[in-house]
């Protein structure tokens, strides 16, 4: 089929609009981030000391070898971070999709409800997270600390123990309940993504399915879910990156300790780059296994 000049012109305008849209980000990346990124990479191969100025001594792979063979905290922290995304990301995605489906319905107060669920994204600036991290009660709720009594699952844990369930099941269920505040707090962007995806599905799809006799459950699995797969991929990538860069993440805490606590700037850079490589591997696996099932509508 031939593509006429009007179609090419329209596609070209869309490409130009996309470039203009991301141009401020590209300029900010070039001006503020490119040099620090390469400086951080160089520091990871060096010992950096601040003594009447920045003193850099090149040590090669010594800090990476120390991380992988001598540091007793890095690999366990990396495993904990990976375990955290395995447990949290599916819950965040499921909750976000469920809430988006509810918020996509017609009901009184829908705008207010949408604002309430998106509120954590608005207030979660650096200073707010700093204040939360310094408050023991808020920090406990956001870090899955079972000592936070308001969101603790003490009654549920006692009930499950009386049912003689295995300890692994009990700890898994109570862990989910204890982490409710944190899961809801991290779901704002994903809810917005799914809500946008739902509103982009043509209503004619559901009308045709209804004429063919499909109920709501069948329409969800045959129309809604497959159509949302591109949005699902974006939400998965965002959720993984957000979990890996969350201030309560054990590796992020380890980087802060090395950088601010021990003043080992080069060592903190080495941790950051190994952590970055690990994140890239996880995202590559996501695109390999999830990306291939995504079908895009033209």
Percent above pLDDT 90 for the chain: 13
CA atoms within 13 A on the CB side of 190: 27
Would the pLDDT of 282 be above 50? yes
Residue 170 CB neighbours (<10 A): 19
| 130 or 46, greater pLDDT | 46
Give the confidence band of 283 by pLDDT, cuts at 50, 70, 90.
Answer: very high
Distance CA(161)–CA(176), nearest Å, equals 16
What domains are defined for the chain?
63-144+179-293 (1.10.3720.10)
Provide the pLDDT for residue 280: 93
Q: Which of 147-151, 181-185, 196-200, 215-219 has the lowest mean pLDDT?
A: 147-151
């Amino acid at each position: 089929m031939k593509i006429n000049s009007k179609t090419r012109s329209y596609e070209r305008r869309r490409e130009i609009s996309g470039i203009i849209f991301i141009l401020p980000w590209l300029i900010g990346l070039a001006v503020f981030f490119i040099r620090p990124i390469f400086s951080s990479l160089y520091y990871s191969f060096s010992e950096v000391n601040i003594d009447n100025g920045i003193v850099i001594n090149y040590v090669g792979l010594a800090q990476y070898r120390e991380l992988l063979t001598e540091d007793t905290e890095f690999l366990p922290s990396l495993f904990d971070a990976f375990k955290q995304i395995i447990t949290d990301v599916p819950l965040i995605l499921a909750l976000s999709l469920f809430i988006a489906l509810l918020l996509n319905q017609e009901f009184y107060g829908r705008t207010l409800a949408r604002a309430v669920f998106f509120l954590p994204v608005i207030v979660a600036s650096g200073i707010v997270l700093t204040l939360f991290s310094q408050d023991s009660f808020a920090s406990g709720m956001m870090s899955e600390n079972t000592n936070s009594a308001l969101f603790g699952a003490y009654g549920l844990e006692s009930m499950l123990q009386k049912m003689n369930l295995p300890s692994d099941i009990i700890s898994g269920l109570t862990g989910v309940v204890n982490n409710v505040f944190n899961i809801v707090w991290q779901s704002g962007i994903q809810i917005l993504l799914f809500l946008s995806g739902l509103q982009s599905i043509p209503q004619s799809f559901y009308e045709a399915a209804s004429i063919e006799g499909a109920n709501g459950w069948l329409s969800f699995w045959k129309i809604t879910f497959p159509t949302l797969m591109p949005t699902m991929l974006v939400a998965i990538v965002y959720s993984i990156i957000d979990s890996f860069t969350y201030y309560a993440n054990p590796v992020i805490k380890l980087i802060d300790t090395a950088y601010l606590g021990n003043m080992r700037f080069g060592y903190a850079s080495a941790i950051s780059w190994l952590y970055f490589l690990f994140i890239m591997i996880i995202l590559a696996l996501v695109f390999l296994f999830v990306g291939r099932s995504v079908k895009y509508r033209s």
